[in-house]
Amino acid sequence: MNLVIDVGNTRTKLAVFDKNNIITVVVVSQSEVLDGIKELRKSYSQLHLAIVSSVGVLDQAVVNYLNIHFNLLVLSHETPLPFNNLYATPKTLGIDRIALVCASVQQFSNKNVLIIDAGTCITYDFITNTNDYLGGSISPGIRMRYHALHNQTAKLPLLETQFPEHFIGNSTINAINSGIVYGVLSEIDGIIERYSADYSDLTIILTGGDTNFLSKQLKSSIFANSNFLLEGLNFILQHNTNG
């Protein structure tokens, strides 16, 4: 059994896999990571392999514990990967994006795949049907846009994420919701159209924290999978071990 640890900017996901099957997912704060790992180790005695992907900061005590009790793989730009990385600056490519591409290789091999990760940022990653990763794009996520309007202006309020009542906002609150939400939806649909024009049989994956909020509103046919990154990390661990 495998332990997959995804350290994000604000929270950490802990997942247990039995081969390719995800058994459980636990979301913890950064201060709860070590206790969460210990609890999972008690519940699943066959946990021996672990992988860590970190875009945030992982406490050294957690790393020490993992090194003692697990065969640990820390994902980096030097980790052997199951695709051809044609990114011009591979050392700057986020390891979360690497994991997403690996998931697409495992689940949608020999297809043109666009992966959209709607989280703190919205990232777009594209891999061809010949297993070549070409790159993608990065834009502000939904919450970042709400915060930017509030922080960069004198009077606009900070709102909770809410689907607009109408695309024409008849109040400041409705106008903010309309501008952000329809702006994001139009951006995503527009980028999908650009890729679809150049690449036939395009498979589109939507993942990340805003998956459920966005998936029903998009025009294009997509696969929505909030655990896609975790599945990619598990695949990388299997690719580099006998797990």
199 labeled part of a ligand binding site? no
DSSP helix/strand/coil, 158: coil
Give the pLDDT confidence of 36-74 residue by residue, as tens digits.
999 999 999 999 999 999 877 788 899 999 999 999 999
**Cross-strand pairs, 139:** 122
Give the tokens for residue 72.
């640990």
CB 164 within 8 A of CB 174: yes
- Predicted local distance difference test score (pLDDT) of residue 105: 96
Distance CA 111, CA 105 (A): 9
The DSSP secondary structure of 181-207, one letter per residue, reads HHHHHHHHHHHHHHHHHHSSSEEEEEE
6 labeled part of a ligand binding site? yes
Give the pLDDT confidence of 90-148 residue by residue, as tens digits.
999 999 999 999 999 999 999 999 999 999 899 999 999 999 999 999 999 999 999 99
**Active-site entry in 96, 125, 132, 189:** 96
Of 1, 30, 5, the residue nearest 15 (C-alpha): 5
Give the pLDDT confidence of 163-222 residue by residue, as tens digits.
998 999 999 999 999 999 999 999 999 999 999 999 988 999 999 989 989 988 887 778
Catalytic, 210? Answer no
Give the strands of the sheet with 12-18, arranged side by side. Answer: 21-28, 12-18, 2-7, 49-54, 71-74
Its pTM surpasses 0.95? no
**The CA-based dihedral angle spanning residues 12, 146, 192, 236, taken in that order and rounded to the nearest 10 degrees:** -10
- Predicted local distance difference test score (pLDDT) of residue 47: 94
Of 139, 104, 147, the residue nearest 123 (C-alpha): 139
Distance CA 54, CA 75 (A): 8
* pLDDT band per the 50, 70, 90 thresholds, residue 243: low
9 labeled part of a ligand binding site? yes
191 labeled part of a ligand binding site? no
- Predicted local distance difference test score (pLDDT) of residue 215: 87
Domains detected in the chain: 2-74 (3.30.420.40), 84-232 (3.30.420.40)
**Cross-strand pairs, 16:** 3, 24
